[in-house]
């Protein structure tokens, strides 16, 4: 019962110390279940009931000693049981209203004695023993979250020690665990029935209530106010530490007939609080009333006036609140962030549906009343904006659709693939930014189709095309015909152009989908085949897909996958593949065991030279299975499910197939799944890289693209990069750079080149294949998803010095610098890195300087994205190092030095390290050092000295070393307490940290006080060790520092003993 | 059949040998099994001596019980398709030949067979009237409709539109063949005249379970 108690029971939260179990229906049922368990324990499990607890359960009881009769010794206020434990302790002991109990049998007795107070006793017992299991069985059984190994551990113990008592104990443990599960499942049932409010629903309610406020006779309320005007991004208005309790906002509601109501809206419902006016008073958060499902119900209970008048309101003249419309549509788009995890997506989606489902349900209770306002709201407040939105979207999309949808889809696919592996979670924007309408239409035609797309229905019946009537007739025959008529109708339906949206929607609108899906449940193979052939075609339409999923079509199709008829299996799998293009469908497939069945379809012999007819059919089945898995694999959980169903080796085997139509879905699935680490490892270890590389040489562009894309995702790993080289995959990748017209292919190929070029050996190969020249040529007139990869590849290649000159010679510097003015953040990260790498060569630097590249880099420090900031800071270092007259150049940037010093306040370690490195370079110029000292660089650097990160430590030490050169900075560092932490850096395991630190200490040791601090921190011994290093710089710095300390000591002695 | 004489067994074996050579799809053992089944089915020694074979009623029973057919007219037509010499009895040879298509026929053979079944008057065309005749019970009749046959007529037109490639208002064999090749589902366009996979499987299992020893 541990987990049920810690996780599911509702504890009061405000009061510190021992929590109280709140009096909620949920807790009540929980207590009753436990009580039931305890009451019957002695009779059901007599042996276990006599097992002594490891520690007694103790609590303050309200039981009177005189209630104890038989088997107890009662003397005044103390009660002792006659039964005693093995070491003589009484099994029950009551004194001064504290009761100690050692066995379940005693607990059972107490429950009987307590009679009508038993629930209360149990509650106090549980409140004071928050983890009873730990007390009963010992601390090793304390309830832990996540995987609980206590049973396993216990089993081991039992095995090693065959004691009878252990046997009993394990039985008890199992009993308790059973109770826990039972509790959880019954609670789950309850919880699932409860309403969950969301910030949006609350906001809508409040907006509506506000519109009922006023002065007229008809007014229902005087005012409704939030206690806080500030709204967090998640829509809550409560302080964050209250948000964790699910509280959304607090309201003060002035009704016409009661005192002001102080209301808390939380996800669990709405209740009165202790009167929160402003933040602060902790006690005010306590719940003071029952929980109501929404504001209206609460108001009806507390304000008779409201209850009476709300029904009289003339809602028809009520204007819809202006904000609702926006909210409803903004939310899903905003949630599109790529970085979000699957779980939260699914959760969100579920919420949306639940909300939709609840609304009608909410209207049922209390049906005695003539009118329920909430139902009216639905019609007026929520219903109509949807309608309008639909119409608007419909008209807009019909204009844009033909031209944009296709492009939009491709882009979206591209961006999702090219983004993978990139640190940033930002989304690539369409080139040029585009007007807002374009942005919106793209997001709605996103390949993920996360948004529930608006319905598009024909405007009126007047202009329905003739197909509509034909299809209606055919559907009539489908409904009312025997199998012969059905087959004829199905075949005839296939003669329509099912790729055309009019026909697809006509089938849906005349109720054809229901019939087609019903046919799948019949025994008639011919009807099933005919129906699936149609469903397969029309499911290209996203609205049809959703309709099929809504009609439970996926469940039936998943079942069909078990059919012995191979044609049927193929069609079902292909249709599933078409339908599972959106998240909910993919989840349905998984939840109904579809993934496992689809994986089973993959099992065939794809590569044998001569196939029998049956084997050929098997291959076809496998191909369709792969197609379906390809669609399903867009969901993270499905990726896991495919792996668990043993899909990886099967995919690996199919990868050997010589047929392109097989390879495309297989590689497509693999490249989709390669976003998961487990897959990347599997792809590498199962030898799939070889096949992927082989297929890079295919004639089929799509196949090449998926292969390149898979390599792109996998080549984060060094071994994979080596394998690609070993199987000679680099040359075909470079060859693909010629495909300048096929942007998707180009993006995948450049991505693969980028990731492969992280290995220097690969860079050498690329040099050999003259890849750099081609890449530089791609720096202009390419979409951003290609550019990101091209620039990334150049950045990696330029880490190898000879390549820097190559880039300059083929004119790469200019376009790179031009790209610094862009807005795409992943691109900027790569561009800054590439420019930085190029700047390491003085000749390049001259070009960059002439193009004013450093100023552009510097202005990127202002970019809101920390990745860009960090990368820009790193790029600035070689620029300063290699620029002629760097000091003057840096000074010429107005406010530049202040900006960079300010970045030392960043929270990102990368940014800090980069900025420290840049400051080290800047500080080499005395005048600039003076300026940054004025901006307070010393204190900021000193503040960072307790960081753990080695990279940061190294550059921080360098920056400190260089900043010491000005004025009283050495002393200031000492005063700011930077010296002692620096000494600790010498204990780090990183050689470059040692060197930089020794240099910093050497500089700092020129101040006597610092020497004393260093000495006190035991620097001498550490430095003596470093003086023996082979690194001359380290040697010299260490020696210099020790010498300074020594000199101080000598001077001291001299002064003393003179 | 344990009392079957050695003489009989010899005859059956020879017959099986010949037939398995004439009819593809069955080997000798299978042919022999089917012959025994045939003999068993029509049981009566006298009948066999007269050399007629299965009559219409018995054959329809087999179709109904073993292969799950229900439509009287179609079953009659199947009988006619099996009974190649039109003597109203199905001989051993016709039995084996018929079953070969029935159970294991290639698409070509099945198309020919189906066309034969559907060409009610045997004139080489499936006419509108024939279609109407075969489809007349395929729709639920709406009592409200003015012309209860309208749906069926319409269905016939739909079928014609789908299959009548030369637009002469009737289906020739070529029409039918083209349509079925294009869409296999149309093989049994005018009523089920072939057993489904499950029935075939069950029948074969039962018929071939005791191969005769040699």
pLDDT in tens, A619-628: 899 999 999 9
Residue span(s) of chain A under CATH 1.25.10.10 come to 467-551, 924-1057
Structure tokens at A1036: 């010299």
A924-1057: what CATH class?
mainly alpha
Confirm or reject contact between B201 and chain A (CB < 8 A): no
Instruction: Determine, for residues B183 and A494 on separate chains, whether the beta-carbon distance falls below 8 Å.
Output: yes
Contacts of A474 in chain B (CB under 8 A): 158
pLDDT score recorded for residue A226: 85
pLDDT score recorded for residue A514: 93
- pLDDT tens profile A217-249: 667 788 888 888 788 878 888 887 788 878 888
Mean pLDDT of A871-892: 89
pLDDT score recorded for residue A958: 92
Confirm or reject contact between B158 and chain A (CB < 8 A): yes
Q: What's the start-to-end Cα distance of chain A, in Å?
A: 79
- Nearest one of A217, B11, A1037, A201 to A209, comparing CA atoms: A201
Q: Report the phi/psi class of residue A434: left, alpha or beta, with left for phi > 0 and alpha for psi in -120 to 50.
A: left
Per-residue pLDDT of chain B (214 residues; tens, 9 = 90+): 444 566 677 888 888 888 888 887 888 888 888 888 888 765 554 445 555 678 888 888 888 888 888 888 889 889 988 888 888 888 888 888 888 888 888 999 999 999 999 998 889 999 999 999 898 888 887 666 667 788 888 899 999 999 998 889 899 999 999 999 999 999 998 988 898 888 888 888 888 876 665 5
How far B114 CA lies from chain A's nearest CA (Å)?
Answer: 14
- The rounded distance, in Å, linking the Cα atoms of A506 and A405 is 21
- pLDDT tens profile A437-454: 333 333 333 344 444 455
- pLDDT tens profile A784-820: 899 999 999 999 999 988 899 999 998 999 999 999 9
Among B138, B161, B183, select the one facing A482 at the smallest CB separation. B138
Confirm or reject contact between A482 and chain B (CB < 8 A): yes
pLDDT score recorded for residue A548: 93
Q: Report the phi/psi class of residue B210: left, alpha or beta, with left for phi > 0 and alpha for psi in -120 to 50.
A: beta
Structure tokens at A510: 């005349």
Q: Identify which has the larger pLDDT, B42 or A131.
A: A131
Mean pLDDT of A717-730: 91
Residue to mutate among A469, A475, A488, A494, with most B CBs inside 10 A, is A488
Confirm or reject contact between B12 and chain A (CB < 8 A): no
Residue window 508-547, chain A: list those with CB within 8 Å of chain B: 525-526, 529-530
What percentage of residues in chain A have a pLDDT greater than 70? Answer: 79
Structure tokens at A1007: 């101040």
Mean pLDDT of A769-781: 89
Residue window 67-86, chain B: list those with CB within 8 Å of chain A: none
Contacts of B158 in chain A (CB under 8 A): 474, 477, 488-489, 492
Among A476, A482, A488, select the one facing B159 at the smallest CB separation. A488
Confirm or reject contact between A488 and chain B (CB < 8 A): yes
Residue to mutate among B158, B160, B190, with most A CBs inside 10 A, is B158
**Neighbouring residues of A993: CB distance < 8 A, sequence distance ≥ 6:** A950, A953, A954, A957, A985
Structure tokens at A580: 């599972």
Chain-centre distance for alpha carbon A752: 26
Judged by average pLDDT, the poorest of A99-103, A256-260, A540-544, A694-698 is A256-260
- The rounded distance, in Å, linking the Cα atoms of B119 and B121 is 6
Mean pLDDT of A23-27: 73
Is the confidence at residue A744, as pLDDT, over 80? Answer: yes
Nearest CA in chain B to A528: B185
- CB crowding A692-707: b at 16 or more within 10 Å, else e: bbbbbebeeebbbbbb
- pLDDT tens profile A508-531: 989 999 999 999 998 888 999 999
Instruction: Determine, for residues B139 and A530 on separate chains, whether the beta-carbon distance falls below 8 Å.
Output: no
- The rounded distance, in Å, linking the Cα atoms of A642 and A173 is 36
Among A485, A495, A525, select the one facing B138 at the smallest CB separation. A485
Q: How confident is the model at residue A174 (pLDDT cuts 50, 70, 90)?
A: confident
Nearest CA in chain B to A525: B196
Among A480, A488, A495, select the one facing B140 at the smallest CB separation. A480
Neighbours of B208 (CB within 10 A): 15
Classify residue A1053 by burial, with Cβ atoms within 10 Å: 0-12, 13-18, 19+. Answer: exposed
Q: Are A10 and A31 within 8 A, CB to CB? A: no
A29-34 long-range contacts, CB within 8 A, separation 24+? A29/A186, A29/A187, A29/A190, A30/A4, A30/A5, A30/A183, A30/A187, A31/A119, A31/A122, A31/A123, A31/A126, A32/A119, A33/A179, A33/A182, A33/A183, A33/A186, A34/A1, A34/A122, A34/A126, A34/A179, A34/A183
Residue window 772-831, chain A: list those with CB within 8 Å of chain B: none
How far B53 CA lies from chain A's nearest CA (Å)?
Answer: 32
Tally: H helices and E strands in chain B: 11, 4
Task: Return the half-sphere exposure (C-beta side, CA atoms, 13 A cut-off) of residue A210.
Answer: 15
Is the confidence at residue A28, as pLDDT, over 70? Answer: yes
Among B134, B140, B185, select the one facing A491 at the smallest CB separation. B185
Instruction: Determine, for residues A565 and B197 on separate chains, whether the beta-carbon distance falls below 8 Å.
Output: yes
- The rounded distance, in Å, linking the Cα atoms of A161 and A177 is 22
How far A526 CA lies from chain B's nearest CA (Å)?
Answer: 6
Confirm or reject contact between B135 and chain A (CB < 8 A): yes
- pLDDT tens profile A947-991: 888 899 999 999 999 999 888 898 999 988 888 899 989 888 888
Domains of chain B by range and CATH? 3-105+196-208 (1.10.238.10), 108-188 (1.10.238.10)
**Strand residues in A256-336 grouped as ranges (E):** 261-266, 269-272
Classify residue A810 by burial, with Cβ atoms within 10 Å: 0-12, 13-18, 19+. Answer: middle
- pLDDT tens profile A580-597: 999 999 999 999 999 999
Residue span(s) of chain A under CATH 3.30.2280 come to 199-302
Instruction: Determine, for residues A491 and B186 on separate chains, whether the beta-carbon distance falls below 8 Å.
Output: yes
How far B67 CA lies from chain A's nearest CA (Å)?
Answer: 14
**Residues A467-551, CATH architecture:** Alpha Horseshoe (1.25)
- pLDDT tens profile A1025-1042: 888 888 888 989 999 999
Q: Report the phi/psi class of residue A80: left, alpha or beta, with left for phi > 0 and alpha for psi in -120 to 50.
A: beta
Nearest CA in chain B to A477: B139
Residue to mutate among B138, B182, B187, with most A CBs inside 10 A, is B138
**Would the pTM count as exceeding 0.80?**
no
Q: Is A377 helix (H, G, I), strand (E, B) or coil?
A: helix
pLDDT score recorded for residue A727: 92
- The rounded distance, in Å, linking the Cα atoms of B160 and B128 is 8
Nearest CA in chain A to B141: A480
Contacts of A525 in chain B (CB under 8 A): 196-197
Is the confidence at residue A532, as pLDDT, over 90? Answer: yes
A199-302: what CATH class?
alpha beta
**Neighbouring residues of A30: CB distance < 8 A, sequence distance ≥ 6:** A4, A5, A8, A9, A183, A187
pLDDT score recorded for residue A607: 64
pLDDT score recorded for residue A539: 92
Confirm or reject contact between B159 and chain A (CB < 8 A): yes
Q: What mean pLDDT, rounded, does chain A reach?
A: 79
Contacts of B139 in chain A (CB under 8 A): 477, 480-482, 485
Instruction: Determine, for residues B155 and A564 on separate chains, whether the beta-carbon distance falls below 8 Å.
Output: no
- Nearest one of A774, A776, A729 to A752, comparing CA atoms: A729
Mean pLDDT of A457-464: 56
Mean pLDDT of A819-829: 91
pLDDT score recorded for residue B181: 92
How far A496 CA lies from chain B's nearest CA (Å)?
Answer: 11
Q: Are A296 and A205 within 8 A, CB to CB? A: yes
Nearest CA in chain B to A496: B162
Instruction: Determine, for residues A484 and B189 on separate chains, whether the beta-carbon distance falls below 8 Å.
Output: yes
How far B191 CA lies from chain A's nearest CA (Å)?
Answer: 5
Instruction: Determine, for residues B155 and A485 on separate chains, whether the beta-carbon distance falls below 8 Å.
Output: yes
Among A482, A488, A565, select the one facing B158 at the smallest CB separation. A488
Confirm or reject contact between A491 and chain B (CB < 8 A): yes
Contacts of A473 in chain B (CB under 8 A): 154
Residue count of chain A, please give it. 1058
How far A304 CA lies from chain B's nearest CA (Å)?
Answer: 56
Residue to mutate among B155, B161, B181, B198, with most A CBs inside 10 A, is B155
Q: How confident is the model at residue A215 (pLDDT cuts 50, 70, 90)?
A: low
Q: Report the phi/psi class of residue A524: left, alpha or beta, with left for phi > 0 and alpha for psi in -120 to 50.
A: beta
- pLDDT tens profile A342-392: 444 444 444 444 444 444 444 444 444 444 444 334 344 343 444 444 444
Rounded to two decimals, the ipTM of the complex is: 0.91
Q: How confident is the model at residue A829 (pLDDT cuts 50, 70, 90)?
A: very high
Among A480, A485, A565, select the one facing B135 at the smallest CB separation. A485
């Amino acid at each position: 019962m541990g987990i049920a108690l810690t996780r599911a029971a509702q504890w009061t939260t405000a009061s510190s110390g021992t929590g109280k179990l709140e009096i909620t229906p949920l807790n009540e049922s929980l207590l009753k279940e436990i009580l039931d368990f305890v009451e019957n324990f002695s009779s059901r499990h007599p042996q276990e009931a006599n097992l002594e607890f490891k520690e007694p359960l103790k609590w303050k009881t309200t039981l009177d000693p005189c209630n104890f009769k038989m088997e107890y010794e009662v003397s005044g206020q103390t009660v002792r049981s006659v039964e005693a434990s093995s070491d003589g302790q009484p099994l029950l002991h009551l004194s001064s209203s504290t009761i100690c109990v050692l066995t379940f049998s005693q607990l059972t007795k107490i429950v009987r004695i307590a009679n009508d107070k038993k629930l209360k006793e149990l509650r106090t017992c549980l409140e004071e023993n928050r983890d009873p299991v730990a007390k009963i069985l010992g601390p090793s059984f304390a309830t832990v979250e996540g995987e609980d190994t206590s049973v396993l551990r216990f089993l081991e113990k039992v095995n090693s020690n065959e004691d009878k008592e252990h046997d009993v104990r394990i039985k008890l443990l199992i009993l308790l665990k059973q109770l826990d599960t039972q509790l959880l499942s019954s609670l789950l049932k309850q919880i699932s029935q409860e309403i969950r409010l969301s910030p949006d629903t609350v906001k809508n309610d409040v907006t509506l209530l506000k519109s009922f406020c006023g002065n007229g006779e008809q007014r229902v309320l005087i005012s409704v106010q939030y206690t806080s005007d500030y709204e967090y991004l998640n829509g809550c208005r409560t302080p964050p530490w209250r948000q964790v309790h699910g509280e959304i906002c607090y309201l003060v509601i002035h009704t016409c007939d009661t005192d002001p109501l102080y209301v808390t809206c939380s996800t669990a419902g709405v209740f009165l609080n202790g009167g929160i006016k402003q933040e602060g008073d902790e006690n005010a958060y306590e719940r003071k009333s029952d929980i109501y499902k929404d504001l209206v119900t609460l108001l009806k209970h507390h304000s008779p006036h409201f209850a009476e008048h709300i029904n009289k309101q003339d809602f028809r003249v009520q204007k819809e609140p202006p904000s609702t419309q926006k909210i409803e549509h903004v939310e899903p788009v905003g949630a599109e962030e790529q970085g979000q995890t699957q779980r939260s997506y699914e959760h969100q989606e579920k919420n949306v549906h639940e909300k939709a489902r609840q609304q009608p349900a909410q209207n049922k209770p209390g049906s005695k009343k003539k009118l329920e306002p909430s139902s009216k709201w639905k019609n007026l407040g929520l219903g109509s904006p949807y309608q309008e939105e639909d119409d608007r979207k419909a008209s807009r999309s019909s204009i844009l659709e033909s031209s944009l949808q296709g492009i939009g889809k491709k882009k979206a696919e591209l961006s999702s693939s090219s983004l993978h592996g990139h640190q940033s979670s930002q989304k690539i924007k369409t080139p040029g930014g585009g007007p807002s309408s374009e942005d919106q239409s793209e997001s709605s035609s996103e390949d993920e189709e996360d948004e529930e797309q608006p319905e598009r229905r024909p405007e009126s019946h007047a202009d329905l095309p003739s197909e509509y009537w034909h299809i209606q007739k055919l559907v009539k025959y489908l409904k009312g015909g025997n199998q012969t008529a059905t087959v004829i109708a199905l075949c005839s339906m296939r003669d329509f152009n099912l790729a055309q949206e009019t026909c697809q929607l006509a089938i849906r609108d005349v109720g054809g989908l229901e019939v087609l899906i019903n046919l799948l449940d019949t025994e008639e193979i011919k009807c099933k085949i005919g129906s699936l052939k149609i469903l397969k075609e029309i499911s290209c339409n996203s609205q049809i897909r959703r309709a099929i999923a809504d009609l439970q079509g996926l469940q039936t199709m998943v079942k069909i996958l078990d059919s012995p008829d191979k044609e049927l299996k193929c069609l079902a799998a292909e249709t599933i593949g078409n339908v599972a293009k959106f998240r909910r469908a993919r989840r349905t497939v998984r939840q109904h065991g579809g993934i496992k069945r689809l994986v089973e379809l993959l099992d065939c012999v794809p590569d044998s030279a001569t196939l029998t007819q049956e084997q050929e059919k098997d291959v076809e089945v496998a191909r369709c299975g792969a197609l379906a898995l390809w669609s399903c694999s867009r969901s993270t959980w499905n990726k896991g499910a495919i792996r668990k169903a043993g899909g990886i080796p099967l995919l690996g085997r199919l990868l050997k197939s010589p047929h392109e139509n097989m390879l495309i879905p297989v590689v497509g699935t693999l490249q989709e799944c390669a976003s998961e680490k487990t897959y990347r490892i599997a792809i590498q270890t199962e030898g799939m890289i070889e096949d992927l590389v082989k297929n890079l040489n295919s004639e089929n562009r799509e196949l090449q693209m998926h292969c390149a894309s898979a390599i792109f995702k996998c080549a984060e790993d060094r071994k994979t990069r080596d394998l690609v080289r070993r199987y000679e995959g680099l040359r075909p990748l470079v060859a693909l750079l010629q495909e300048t017209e096929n942007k998707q292919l180009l993006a995948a190929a450049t991505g693969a080149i980028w990731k492969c070029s992280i290995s220097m050996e690969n860079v050498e190969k690329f040099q050999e294949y003259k890849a750099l020249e081609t890449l530089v040529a791609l720096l202009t007139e390419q979409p951003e998803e290609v550019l990101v990869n091209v620039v990334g590849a150049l950045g990696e290649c330029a880490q190898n010095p000879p390549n820097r000159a190559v880039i300059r010679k083929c004119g790469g510097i200019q376009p790179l610098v031009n790209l610094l003015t862009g807005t795409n953040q992943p691109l900027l990260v790569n561009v800054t890195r590439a420019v930085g790498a190029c700047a390491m060569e003085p000749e390049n630097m001259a070009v960059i300087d002439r193009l004013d590249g450093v100023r552009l880099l510097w202005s990127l420090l202002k970019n809101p994205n920390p990745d860009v900031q960090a990368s820009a800071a790193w790029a600035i270092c070689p620029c300063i190092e290699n620029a002629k007259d760097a000091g003057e150049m840096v000074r010429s940037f107005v406010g530049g030095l202040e900006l960079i010093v300010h970045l030392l306040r960043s929270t990102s370690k990368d940014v800090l390290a980069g900025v420290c490195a840049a400051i080290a370079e800047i500080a080499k110029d005395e005048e600039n050092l003076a300026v940054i000292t004025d901006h307070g660089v010393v204190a900021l650097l000193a503040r960072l000295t307790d960081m753990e990160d080695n990279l940061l430590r190294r550059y921080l030490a360098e920056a400190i070393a260089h900043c010491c050169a000005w004025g009283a900075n050495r002393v200031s560092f000492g005063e700011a307490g930077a010296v002692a932490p620096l000494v600790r850096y010498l204990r780090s395991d990183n050689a470059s940290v040692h060197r930089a630190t020794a240099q910093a200490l050497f500089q700092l040791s020129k101040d006597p006080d610092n020497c004393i601090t260093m000495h006190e921190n035991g620097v001498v011994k550490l430095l003596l060790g470093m003086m023996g290093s082979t690194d001359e710089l380290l040697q010299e710095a260490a020696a210099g520092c020790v010498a300074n300390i020594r000199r101080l000591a000598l001077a001291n002695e001299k002064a003393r003993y003179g | 059949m344990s009392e079957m004489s050695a003489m009989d067994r010899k005859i059956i074996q020879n017959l099986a040998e010949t037939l398995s050579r004439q009819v593809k799809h069955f080997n000798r053992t299978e042919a022999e099994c089917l012959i025994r089944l045939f003999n068993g089915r029509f049981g009566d020694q006298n009948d066999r001596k007269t050399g007629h074979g299965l009559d219409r009623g018995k054959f329809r029973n087999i179709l109904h019980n073993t292969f799950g057919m229900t439509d009287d007219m179609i079953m009659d037509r199947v009988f006619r398709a099996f009974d190649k010499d039109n003597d109203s009895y199905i001989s051993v040879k016709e039995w084996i030949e018929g079953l070969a298509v029935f159970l294991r026929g290639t698409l070509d053979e099945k198309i020919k067979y189906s066309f034969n079944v559907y060409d009610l008057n045997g004139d080489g065309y499936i006419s509108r009237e024939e279609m109407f005749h075969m489809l007349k019970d395929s729709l639920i009749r709406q009592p409200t409709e003015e012309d209860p046959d309208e749906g069926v007529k319409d269905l016939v037109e739909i079928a014609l539109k789908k299959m009548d490639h030369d637009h002469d208002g009737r289906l020739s064999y070529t029409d039918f063949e083209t349509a079925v090749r294009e869409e296999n589902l149309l093989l049994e366009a005018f009523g089920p005249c072939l057993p489904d996979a499950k029935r075939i499987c069950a029948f074969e299992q039962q018929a071939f379970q005791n191969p005769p020893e040699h």
